[in-house]
A and B are shown apart, each in its own frame.
Chain A
Amino acid sequence: MKFLGRPEGGRLKGERLAKGAMLAAALGALLTSCWQPPFDPALSASEATVEKLGDPVLEAKVRTGSEDSGSYYLPSRDPDYRHFGYLVHKEDSGFAAHSLYYYDATNYILDSSTAYLSEGDGIGKLVMTPLFPALSTTLTLFFALDSGTGVGKLDGLSFGANYWLNADTVGFGSAPLDGTYDRLFSCSWAPADTTPTIYSLDLAGTESLASPTVSTDTPTDAPAQHFDDGCFVAISPATGYLYLSGKVAGIDRSYRWVAPSGNVWELLSGVTERLTGVLADGRLLADTGDELIVYDADGAFVFSIATGGVLRFVHERYDGAQWISVFTRTIEVPIPNEGDVYQHIEVYEIPSPELASLAR
């Protein structure tokens, strides 16, 4: 007599396969564990601020090599030529700009110039804000030399003459002077010196570098300790106060020297981060990488703006009626399997008096 054997045999085999697949998948997931969630708090922070900035005044995309990875876009200060700019990236020794990019109106992208600046041109350490180019259509960029001893001028891709400042320069800074000029500051402080020497230099896009002048307000005494290299120095165009900010024995310290009151340095205890800029109205800026902190002229915290390090305050420009703060955001998206990246560039503007609307 015939009997059926194991009618469920096929199902048993199927279940074993299913369980085996489950175990294999679980093990595989645990072993790989290299998935990165689609969330970047820095990008989200920048987006939170961008929502308040409104639509960008310039939006473009450029394909670059991996050497421009981590760059941000530094546009011309002339609003008519903001589609000219540099992709500036951080290097170990400072910032560098490899090439000038310009807007291709046909293809609606930014395209790079054919020439590239090389390290040998002295670009590095610290890139200064670009100068308002007056009527020029080219971008003028002033920057510190690798040696920290002078200032170079870049006019488009024409590398202009350097201007020797001082061998013992420990820091630079700039501040808008008026709608036409920026004023560049440098601080020279030899280890043997008891007091720093502050130089100022008026910069204009269409002019050669003027001879540096020692500020008439150069203090005759000094903060308690010697500043390390890389400090920020500037005189506020609104108040005339001299600010010196940077690391002193590894700790961020910011001082203010009020010339009319005498040779007295005040420690700005409210300023906890290294200052990075001075607005035309006298407010102080500190870009920490995650946020932009705004202090008043006395160093008291006013508000902070979430940037995530992706959104950058690059400069102010004067539109004939008011100062405008300019921000750029450069988002980098790798091109799969090609090594290159797409840089998605956005430029935003907001009147400087309305900066507080961007506060967290």
Chain B
Amino acid sequence: MAHVRQLHGDPFTPEGLVVRAVRSARGRAIAGFFAALLGLSAAATVPAEEATPKPFRVMTLLRFEPATAPTGEAGVGLDSSMGGDGVHRGAAADGTEGGLLSLGATADGTGGEATASGAAALGPGGPETGLGVSEGDWRVSLDLAAGRSVKVLEVKEAPAGVDDESALESAAREGYPILILATLRRDGAATVAEYRILDAATGRELRSGSVSSDGPRLDEAMRIFWIPLTADLDGVSPSGISATLTVRGEPGTTITGFSVAPLEIPDSGVLVIDVASPRTYAWRSRAPGLEDRAGTLTVLENASILELPSVPLRPWALGIGFAMGQFPGLEATRSFFRNRLALSLVLDQYLFGVFLPDPRDGQGEYLYLSLPMIMGGASGSYYFNGAGAALRPYGRLAGAFRFDTELLRGDPVAPFRVEANVGLQWRLGSRTSAFIEAGCSFYPWADGILMEASRSSGGGAAATVYGAWGFLEYPQFRLGLRFGL
């Protein structure tokens, strides 16, 4: 039985991440039969393996061994004037240096010059190896050959200078089920490559082979030299550390976190990929018209399904907020840019609010406070993360006109209010979120003295600054609920 454990996601939403265990191929087939019998969704019965090939990721490690040619024979690198016979004629190393770069060194340095000229003729690619192709180009050629396999999703080179065991551990730890160990050396006029395809989890050798060619030239190295390796990769199936993860979601959904490049769910709605197991992945998904999703997934066994919830973006919302936790107000919101930007119409009021002053402050004993004022205005909020996140921090600017319902006109003391807040929105359900904001309220063109006097019996926890320029009150809080429509 496969297990996929969710460490993080949207634990508060019923439509949140759903992870199911897939028991076996036989089980899926039986389930598919009954599902078809009952007319259930075809998507629910599509065997994950049949939907798309199962790519895996490959790590490569290429070493350059000393040539077997006699010491002192000058290596000349690739002769740019060399004909198209593919025979690499001049390369030789002194055999004394060993190590990774020994093939590129010549005893007297003339070869180095020739190599340099050859490399220059072939373009950049790193130190000349003495094989006519630079070391960097050889590595690229190996990576390209691996990447040509229909099974390979991505290729990464092992860290430089590591031994086989460390490379194997790196591949396993970083989620690369296959490690290719290759060595390259000169054998007379020929270039000989020997490679081993290893299962990164077990160290077991899955395939091995060798390739020999005169020369070759750069274009040959890039295109045809490693063909046997590519063919071998097509045939391997790394088991043990590799698990099949079936991602189900809306076609066109891009998901990141399981590979370097984003993956896109095809029209079938099912994407099957090989992933390392056990391993934990931090993933993110995005689809047109749907909320972004993110989560952390621990894959423990061979076959798992990750179903991405299709929660539509809800651009319209209603909210109720309590200024300082006391005075309720309403807001109607229209969101843009995948709900990152929210523009709201705001209606606040002081006609009714909870008021529980401390009697020791001399304000008397109250349960509520009623003042003849309503405030209408607009606000703009920018959310710093996607709509599907459980916690969404945001910044908010708001402006409102203060209307005195007793005088039936704008407040002559302070007709306008401007608010600047930072907020945090906490998703409680698919449509419901709680929020709290903190910031300050600024009253431009206000009579500061009158404003200060208006709260002369004590403004609670808020502090003020005032002058001829207006009146500033801080900190100001607002908390409440928002409902997606």
B160 on the interface (CB 8 Å rule)? no
Instruction: Give chain B nearest CB distance to A5 CB in angstroms.
Output: 7
Nearest B residue to A360 via CB reads B407
Q: A34-B358, A40-B453 are contacts. A45–B406 as well, Cβ < 8 Å?
A: yes
A93 on the interface (CB 8 Å rule)? no
Residue from A3, A26, A36, A51 in contact with B459 in the complex, judged by beta carbons closer than 8 Å: A36
Is the beta-carbon distance between A37 and B461 smaller than 8 angstroms? no
Residue from B424, B451, B453 in contact with A332 in the complex, judged by beta carbons closer than 8 Å: B453
Chain B residues with CB under 8 Å of A7's CB are: 280, 282, 296
Is the beta-carbon distance between A22 and B458 smaller than 8 angstroms? no
What CA separation (Å) do A32 and B459 show in the bound complex?
Answer: 11
A239 on the interface (CB 8 Å rule)? no
Q: A1-B173, A39-B371, A47-B413 are contacts. A18–B459 as well, Cβ < 8 Å?
A: no
Chain A residues with CB under 8 Å of B452's CB are: 38, 333
What CA separation (Å) do A34 and B327 show in the bound complex?
Answer: 11
Chain B residues with CB under 8 Å of A8's CB are: 7-8, 280, 282, 296
Instruction: Give chain A nearest CB distance to B358 CB in angstroms.
Output: 6
Q: A331-B449, A331-B453 are contacts. A34–B458 as well, Cβ < 8 Å?
A: yes
Chain A residues with CB under 8 Å of B159's CB are: none
Instruction: Kindly identify, within residues 400 to 420 of chain B, every residue whose CB is under 8 Å from any CB belonging to chain A.
Output: 402, 404, 406-407, 409, 411-414
Instruction: Give chain A nearest CB distance to B376 CB in angstroms.
Output: 15
Is the beta-carbon distance between A41 and B404 smaller than 8 angstroms? yes
Is the beta-carbon distance between B324 and A35 smaller than 8 angstroms? yes
Number of residues on chain A facing chain B (CB within 8 A): 43
Residue from A2, A6, A29 in contact with B7 in the complex, judged by beta carbons closer than 8 Å: A6
Instruction: Kindly identify, within residues 297 to 313 of chain A, every residue whose CB is under 8 Å from any CB belonging to chain B.
Output: 306
Chain B residues with CB under 8 Å of A22's CB are: 424, 426, 434, 436
A216 on the interface (CB 8 Å rule)? no
What CA separation (Å) do A18 and B453 show in the bound complex?
Answer: 37
A48 on the interface (CB 8 Å rule)? yes
What CA separation (Å) do A2 and B169 show in the bound complex?
Answer: 8
B154 on the interface (CB 8 Å rule)? no
Is the beta-carbon distance between B450 and A43 smaller than 8 angstroms? yes
Residue from B201, B279, B406, B436 in contact with A4 in the complex, judged by beta carbons closer than 8 Å: B279
Instruction: Give chain B nearest CB distance to A193 CB in angstroms.
Output: 42
A90 on the interface (CB 8 Å rule)? no
Instruction: Kindly identify, within residues 119 to 173 of chain B, every residue whose CB is under 8 Å from any CB belonging to chain A.
Output: 169, 172-173
A344 on the interface (CB 8 Å rule)? yes
Is the beta-carbon distance between A34 and B279 smaller than 8 angstroms? no
Instruction: Give chain B nearest CB distance to A338 CB in angstroms.
Output: 14
What CA separation (Å) do A280 and B280 show in the bound complex?
Answer: 92
Is the beta-carbon distance between B413 and A43 smaller than 8 angstroms? yes
Chain B residues with CB under 8 Å of A40's CB are: 413, 450, 453-455
Nearest B residue to A51 via CB reads B412
A15 on the interface (CB 8 Å rule)? yes
Chain A residues with CB under 8 Å of B8's CB are: 8, 11-12
Chain B residues with CB under 8 Å of A26's CB are: 325, 434, 436, 479
Is the beta-carbon distance between B391 and A48 smaller than 8 angstroms? no
A33 on the interface (CB 8 Å rule)? yes
What CA separation (Å) do A44 and B410 show in the bound complex?
Answer: 10
Instruction: Kindly identify, within residues 215 to 243 of chain A, every residue whose CB is under 8 Å from any CB belonging to chain B.
Output: none
Q: A1-B169, A8-B7, A30-B325 are contacts. A35–B280 as well, Cβ < 8 Å?
A: no
A334 on the interface (CB 8 Å rule)? yes
What CA separation (Å) do A216 and B369 show in the bound complex?
Answer: 53
A167 on the interface (CB 8 Å rule)? no
Stretch touching chain A among B13-21, B43-51, B55-63, B349-357:
B349-357
A25 on the interface (CB 8 Å rule)? yes
What CA separation (Å) do A3 and B200 show in the bound complex?
Answer: 13
Is the beta-carbon distance between A2 and B173 smaller than 8 angstroms? yes
Chain B residues with CB under 8 Å of A51's CB are: 412
Nearest A residue to B172 via CB reads A1
Instruction: Give chain A nearest CB distance to B375 CB in angstroms.
Output: 10
Instruction: Kindly identify, within residues 320 to 354 of chain A, every residue whose CB is under 8 Å from any CB belonging to chain B.
Output: 331-334, 344
What CA separation (Å) do A21 and B438 show in the bound complex?
Answer: 12
Is the beta-carbon distance between B404 and A44 smaller than 8 angstroms? yes
Residue from A3, A11, A21, A44 in contact with B413 in the complex, judged by beta carbons closer than 8 Å: A44
Chain B residues with CB under 8 Å of A41's CB are: 371-373, 404, 406-407
Is the beta-carbon distance between A36 and B282 smaller than 8 angstroms? no
Chain B residues with CB under 8 Å of A2's CB are: 169, 173
Is the beta-carbon distance between A39 and B456 smaller than 8 angstroms? no
Residue from B172, B324, B350, B464 in contact with A29 in the complex, judged by beta carbons closer than 8 Å: B324
Is the beta-carbon distance between A36 and B391 smaller than 8 angstroms? no
Is the beta-carbon distance between B280 and A4 smaller than 8 angstroms? yes
Is the beta-carbon distance between A39 and B358 smaller than 8 angstroms? no
What CA separation (Å) do A135 and B7 show in the bound complex?
Answer: 91
Chain A residues with CB under 8 Å of B406's CB are: 41, 44-45
Nearest B residue to A61 via CB reads B449
Residue from B282, B353, B436, B447 in contact with A25 in the complex, judged by beta carbons closer than 8 Å: B436
Instruction: Kindly identify, within residues 431 to 474 of chain B, every residue whose CB is under 8 Å from any CB belonging to chain A.
Output: 434, 436, 438, 441, 443, 447, 449-462, 464, 471, 473
Is the beta-carbon distance between B413 and A6 smaller than 8 angstroms? no
Instruction: Kindly identify, within residues 95 to 113 of chain A, every residue whose CB is under 8 Å from any CB belonging to chain B.
Output: none
Instruction: Kindly identify, within residues 293 to 340 of chain B, every residue whose CB is under 8 Å from any CB belonging to chain A.
Output: 296, 322-327
Nearest B residue to A329 via CB reads B450
Is the beta-carbon distance between B280 and A334 smaller than 8 angstroms? no
B216 on the interface (CB 8 Å rule)? no
Chain B residues with CB under 8 Å of A333's CB are: 449, 452-453, 456
Instruction: Give chain A nearest CB distance to B440 CB in angstroms.
Output: 12
What CA separation (Å) do A121 and B449 show in the bound complex?
Answer: 35
Interface string of B192-213 (1 = CB under 8 A from A): 0000000001000000000000
What CA separation (Å) do A43 and B407 show in the bound complex?
Answer: 11
Is the beta-carbon distance between A34 and B412 smaller than 8 angstroms? no
Is the beta-carbon distance between B356 and A1 smaller than 8 angstroms? no
Chain A residues with CB under 8 Å of B434's CB are: 22, 26
Is the beta-carbon distance between A38 and B454 smaller than 8 angstroms? yes
Interface string of A182-206 (1 = CB under 8 A from B): 0000000000000000000000000
Is the beta-carbon distance between A18 and B391 smaller than 8 angstroms? yes
Is the beta-carbon distance between B296 and A32 smaller than 8 angstroms? no
Residue from A15, A32, A37, A44 in contact with B391 in the complex, judged by beta carbons closer than 8 Å: A15
Nearest B residue to A342 via CB reads B449
Nearest B residue to A331 via CB reads B453
What CA separation (Å) do A8 and B6 show in the bound complex?
Answer: 11
Chain A residues with CB under 8 Å of B371's CB are: 37, 39, 41
Is the beta-carbon distance between A19 and B372 smaller than 8 angstroms? no
What CA separation (Å) do A25 and B462 show in the bound complex?
Answer: 14
Is the beta-carbon distance between B424 and A35 smaller than 8 angstroms? no
Given contacts A25-B477, A38-B452, A39-B350, 10 further A-B contacts (CB under 8 A): A12-B8, A32-B324, A32-B325, A32-B461, A38-B455, A44-B407, A44-B411, A47-B450, A48-B412, A333-B453
Binding site for B on A (CB under 8 A): 1-9, 11-12, 15, 18-19, 21-22, 25-26, 29-30, 32-41, 43-45, 47-48, 51, 306, 331-334, 344, 360
Q: List 9 A-B contacts (CB under 8 A).
A: A7-B296, A8-B8, A25-B477, A29-B325, A34-B361, A37-B369, A39-B371, A41-B406, A44-B412
